[in-house]
């Protein structure tokens, strides 16, 4: 190993430091360098950044619950009078298998299971914990995982950790998926199909009816990540699985509290057998400090609150359709069909420049670049919220139209 003296710093520079510095400089040159924004106050659909008030189009608070000051105030007021009950503690102090399994876990899981009409539910610390824990727990070296190519990074990490063999089928190419299922017949103990319902970067929707039919035909197990679907789709906000009428055909459905439900954590709905097995084998559950009771109580409140937010869901999807139609009519490449409206621009520099230009006009819309999306598909990604107005959408579309090359 060769060590080099850094004369300016008066220390020895390790080779790994030089390599890291080169990589960071390369990211800067390619306009892919990321920094943590200095986020200020939030007020409804607005956010303050560096002293500038911007319309927030990069939030996952799809229903606007996180900005409901009346709900938050009433929740905090109830906390002031109930500290001694332990329901508002700010820490759980240990994992669920030790002393962290507060009764609110049971209340929350029972409420979720009841609404989904399933035997059991299990709450996790995050969607990332869920996706990097479930597949490694269930998948063995005798199994196969079939994964949509555009699934979230947490799912990809989960299949890489798992002992099972895995293959990634072309995005939403269910003919290729069926060919893989036919090819694998009789060769594995179990085949798992894993998909998102609403794909977070393209904003398009999985054909869950087709997936349920395939899993039944080939005896596969279907796991659906509804991170961006819960709260937005279905009469009760239970997700795209509810919207498409296939709730009873999903073996494990994963949802998150950190987006439309305006809290922290995630959940899965499943059979009692799977729940029992995950409690005993899922490393990201076993070896993680439990969520604070304060968070669990807030999640229970927001989950129940969103069940009746039919008008907000309808309004949100109408806004998305309006924006997508206007931008497509102007000539932009706008894929998808959900409340996530991406505008594909191609070059990294163009996405960065347009994001900066929008900020100058009072909009907060961050550019998304590789490796989050494929090469040459950098984009602006508008995450819409139910507390936006038609006027907000029309103003945004009008500002963007002249920028089409």
List C-alpha distances in Å: 79 to 17, 257, 289, 294: 48, 20, 22, 8
Strand order in the sheet with 266-270: 120-124, 266-270, 252-256, 221-225, 191-196, 144-148, 165-169
Calculate the alpha carbon distances from 161 to 171, 196, 256, 275 in Å: 22, 19, 21, 20
Residue pLDDT, tens place only, 182-191: 999 999 999 9
Q: Is the pLDDT of residue 225 over 50?
A: yes
Band (pLDDT 50/70/90 cuts) for residue 49 is confident
Closest CA to 246 of 205, 277, 300, 199: 205
CA neighbours within 13 Å on the CB side: how many for 223?
25
Q: Report the SS3 class of residue 192.
A: strand
Q: How confident is the model at residue 34 (pLDDT cuts 50, 70, 90)?
A: confident
Q: Are 342 and 382 in contact (CB under 8 A)?
A: yes
Q: What is the pLDDT of residues 279-326, one digit of tens each?
A: 999 999 999 999 999 999 999 999 999 999 999 999 999 999 999 999
| Size of the chain in residues | 405
Least Cα distance to 224 among 253, 246, 251, 244 occurs for 253
315 is catalytic: no
Which candidate, 24, 21, 22, 27, places its Cα nearest to that of 352?
27
Q: Please determine, for residue 1, whether its predicted confidence score (pLDDT) is greater than 50.
A: no
Q: Which of 102, 259, 315, 364 is catalytic?
A: 259
Q: Where are the beta strands (DSSP E) in 113-211?
A: 120-124, 144-148, 165-169, 191-196
> CA dist 42 to 35, 69, 91, 268, 385, Å?
20, 11, 25, 30, 14
Range of lowest pLDDT (20-34, 76-90, 356-370)? 76-90
Q: Which residue has the tokens 């299990």?
A: 122
Supply the CATH classification number for the domain 75-306. 3.40.640.10
d(CA 169, CA 391) in angstroms, rounded, equals 40
The one catalytic residue in 197, 200, 263, 338 is 200
By percentage, how much of the chain surpasses pLDDT 90? 74
What's the confidence (pLDDT) of residue 102? 94
215 has catalytic annotation: no
Question: Could you confirm whether 200 is annotated as catalytic?
Answer: yes
Whole-number Å distance between alpha carbons of 339 and 200:
10
Question: Model-level pTM?
Answer: 0.91
Q: Where are the beta strands (DSSP E) in 205-339?
A: 221-225, 252-256, 266-270
The domain defined by 17-56+310-403 folds into: 3.90.1150
CATH 3.40.640.10 residue ranges for the chain: 75-306
Torsion sign over Cα 161, 164, 169, 174: negative
Half-sphere exposure of 307 (CA within 13 A, CB side): 11
At residue 299, the pLDDT reads 97
- Encoding tokens for residue 126? 């995050």
CB neighbourhood size of 149 (10 A): 14
The residues of the chain that CATH labels 3.90.1150.10 are: 17-56+310-403
Tokens 């919207």: give the residue: 243
Most confident of 14-18, 31-35, 118-122: 118-122
Mean pLDDT score of the chain, rounded to an integer? 92
CA angle 333, 338, 344 (to 5 degrees): 20
- List helix spans (H) across 282-309: 283-286, 293-306
Give me the catalytic one of 152, 215, 228, 339: 228
């Amino acid at each position: 190993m060769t060590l080099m003296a850094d004369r300016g710093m008066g220390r020895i520079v390790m080779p790994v430091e030089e390599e890291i510095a080169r990589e960071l400089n390369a990211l800067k040159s390619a306009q892919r360098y990321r920094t943590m924004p200095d986020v200020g106050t939030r007020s409804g659909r607005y956010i303050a950044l560096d002293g500038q008030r911007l319309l927030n189009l990069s939030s996952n608070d799809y229903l606007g619950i996180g900005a409901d000051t009346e709900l938050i105030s009433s929740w905090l007021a109830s906390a002031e009078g109930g500290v001694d009950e332990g329901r508002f503690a700010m820490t759980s102090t240990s994992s669920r298998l030790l002393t962290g399994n507060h009764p609110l876990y049971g209340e929350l899981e029972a409420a979720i299971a009841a609404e989904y009409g399933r035997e059991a539910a299990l709450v996790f610390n995050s969607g990332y914990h869920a996706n990097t824990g479930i597949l490694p727990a269930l998948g063995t070296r005798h199994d196969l995982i079939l994964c949509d190519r555009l699934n979230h990074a947490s799912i990809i990490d989960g299949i890489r950790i798992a002992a099972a063999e895995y293959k990634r089928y072309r995005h939403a190419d269910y003919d290729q998926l069926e060919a893989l299922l036919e090819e694998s017949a009789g060769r594995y103990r179990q085949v798992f199909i894993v998909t998102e319902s609403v794909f977070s970067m393209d904003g398009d929707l999985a054909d869950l009816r087709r997936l349920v039919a395939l899993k039944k035909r080939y005896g596969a197990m279907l796991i659906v990540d509804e991170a961006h679907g819960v709260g937005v789709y279905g009469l009760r906000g239970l997700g795209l699985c509810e919207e498409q009428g296939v709730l009873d055909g999903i073996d494990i459905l994963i949802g998150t509290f950190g987006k439309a439900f305006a809290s922290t954590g995630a959940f899965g709905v499943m059979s009692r057998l799977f729940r029992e097995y995950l409690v005993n084998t899922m490393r990201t559950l076993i070896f993680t400090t439990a969520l604070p009771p304060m968070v669990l109580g807030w999640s229970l409140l927001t989950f129940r609150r969103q069940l009746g937010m039919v008008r907000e869901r309808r309004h949100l999807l109408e806004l998305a359709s309006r924006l997508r139609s206007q931008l497509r009519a102007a000539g932009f490449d706008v894929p998808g069909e959900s409340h996530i409206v991406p505008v594909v621009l191609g070059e990294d520099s163009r996405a960065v420049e347009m994001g900066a230009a929008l900020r100058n006009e009072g909009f907060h819309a961050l550019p998304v670049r590789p490796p989050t999306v494929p090469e040459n598909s950098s984009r602006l990604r508008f995450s819409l919220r139910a507390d936006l107005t038609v006027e907000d959408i029309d103003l945004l579309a009008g500002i963007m139209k002249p920028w089409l090359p």
